[in-house]
Amino acid sequence: MRKRLLSPAKINLGLSIVGRRDNGFHSLESLFWPLSFGDLLEVEKGTGRTTLSWSPDAPFTTDILPTENNNIVTTVLRALPESESSWDVHINKSIPMGGGMGGGSSNVGTFLRYLKEKKILSVLNLESWASQYGADIPFFLHSKPAWVSGIGEVITPLECTNAGLTQLHFLLIIFPFGCETQLIFKKYKESGKPFSSSQNPFPDKTLTIESIRHYLKSAKNDLEPTATTLYPTIKKVLEKLRAEPCLYAGLSGSGATCFAVFESAESRQKTAQDLHDFFRTNNCKSISSQTFATR
């Protein structure tokens, strides 16, 4: 029987670069937030094949999708014992590539979570094992709001009150281009910008709408100045979003996706309508999303 699974996108509600390791990787801290917008995985018993196609609802379908041999899900499938890898996975893509929303990592995390729930995985330390294929894959094994540190592999899940989950409404701005993550970090390093101070804004590991509001007042993305210099359209969009009555507007990861956070669906909808012509003129599209709800 074929199983259909939502593979959620994520956004970074703030991203601080707090250091650099001896191996050259940057240490970061960020509030990762899973969204109801994402890819759709179709999983069934088979021969271990992975196929991809653009969803009819995808914002843009101009990027060339990875081949089966170049897809991270295929890599993980081939690393599993033979008795656990006989699955065919078709990925209906909506998450833009190079959008800073974790598309490939989400696909892997969602697939592994499904196998874990079916109790057929023999991998003992799944989070550690999965992180070798992508630092943020462990986040998608749970797909709940989390404070993330290290190079993205240290996940601290945060408990949310119902209001903390349902009172946030997201407007995503998707571009027909992606940001090159390696280039963003290279230019960030060359800028000589001092590292941000490490913080722990949620010491009790709990989120309320009040604590989220407080955090977002000072949240920022340390990669934004670099990304907006390389991609001026991103700067124009962020300036427009920040002129709207939102809790926060920012860049997800190293880009290119921008987003705004609202406390009501009505204010989100009004912003989408008010900026419709601006988005069209700048060849970008808006998508409304909520928090991803795990079962």
Write down the pLDDT at residue 160.
86
Write the burial class of residue 143 (CB in 10 Å: 0-12 exposed, 13-18 middle, 19+ buried).
buried
Q: What is the pTM of this model?
A: 0.95
Residue ranges per structural domain of the chain: 3-157, 160-289
219 φ/ψ sector (left φ>0, alpha ψ -120 to 50, else beta)? beta
Q: Clarify whether 63 is annotated catalytic.
A: no
Question: Along the chain (295 residues), what's the average pLDDT of each consecutive run of 10 residues?
Answer: 96 97 93 98 95 95 87 94 92 97 97 93 90 94 94 92 79 97 96 94 92 95 98 98 98 98 97 98 97 79
Q: Which of 222, 259, 206, 252 is nearest to 27 (CA)?
A: 222
Q: What is the CATH number of domain 160-289?
A: 3.30.70.890
Catalytic one of 10, 93, 144, 240: 10
Write down the pLDDT at residue 196.
97
Write down the pLDDT at residue 166.
79
Write down the pLDDT at residue 245.
96
Write down the pLDDT at residue 167.
86
Q: Clarify whether 270 is annotated catalytic.
A: no
What contacts 90, CB < 8 A, 6 or more positions away?
41, 42, 50, 51, 52, 53
Unique residue bearing structure tokens 């001896």: 22
Catalytic one of 39, 93, 136, 144: 136
Other C-beta atoms closer than 10 Å to the C-beta of 277 total 9
> Is CATH 3.30.230.10 the classification given to domain 3-157?
yes
Strands (E), the chain: 3-20, 26-45, 50-54, 87-93, 146-149, 154-157, 159-160, 169-174, 206-207, 248-251, 258-262, 285-289
Write down the pLDDT at residue 89.
97
Write down the pLDDT at residue 122.
84
